[in-house]
């Protein structure tokens, strides 16, 4: 459960994850439009492989997933997530401290998932 202060920094949205290895940015945008997704973002999974996140309204999740499947796209996962409204940039020291905190929280048995809005400085 999100604390009251953090709750306002996130929107609950539908997110469909798709492998992004052989998909251009232009094609990803075309797929998002065709499937009815509000946005598509490029990111990486735990193995640092490219992943596309098709973001949509919670009520459209099933429709967007089905549309992507009809377009021949392989779906990795689909579900509801808390998507950050804004990102917070951290320097290397702050990022290390935040990563240690998130890892400790994830190790706690009662924690199911930790969302953050951290963006590493380039």
Span 63-119, pLDDT tens digits: 999 999 999 999 999 999 998 888 888 888 888 999 899 999 989 999 888 888 887
Is pLDDT above 70 for 3? Answer: no
> Any idea what DSSP says for residue 45?
-
Task: Answer whether 82's CB lies under 8 Å from 7's CB.
Answer: no
* Contact in structure between 52 and 28 (CB atoms under 8 Å): yes
| pLDDT on residue 15 | 96
In this predicted structure, the answer to whether residue 57 has a pLDDT above a threshold of 90 is yes
| Rounded distance between C-alpha atoms, residue 58 and residue 108, angstroms | 28
CA dihedral of residues 6, 10, 14, 17 (deg, nearest 10): -90
CA dist list (Å): 119 to 19, 27, 44, 48, 108: 21, 25, 13, 16, 24
Whole-number pLDDT of residue 4: 61
Q: In 61-112, where does DSSP find H-type helix?
A: 61-70, 92-107
């Amino acid at each position: 459960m999100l604390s009251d202060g953090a709750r306002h920094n996130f929107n609950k949205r539908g997110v469909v994850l798709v492998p992004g290895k052989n998909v251009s940015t232009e094609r990803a945008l075309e797929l998002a439009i065709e499937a009815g997704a509000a946005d598509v973002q490029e990111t990486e999974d735990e193995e640092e492989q490219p992943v596309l996140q098709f973001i949509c309204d919670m009520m459209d999740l099933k429709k967007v997933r089905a549309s992507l499947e009809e377009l021949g796209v392989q779906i990795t996962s689909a579900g509801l997530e808390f998507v950050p409204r804004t990102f917070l940039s951290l320097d290397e020291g702050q990022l290390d401290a935040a990563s240690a905190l998130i890892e400790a929280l994830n190790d706690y048995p009662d924690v199911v998932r930790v969302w953050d809005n951290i963006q590493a400085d380039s």
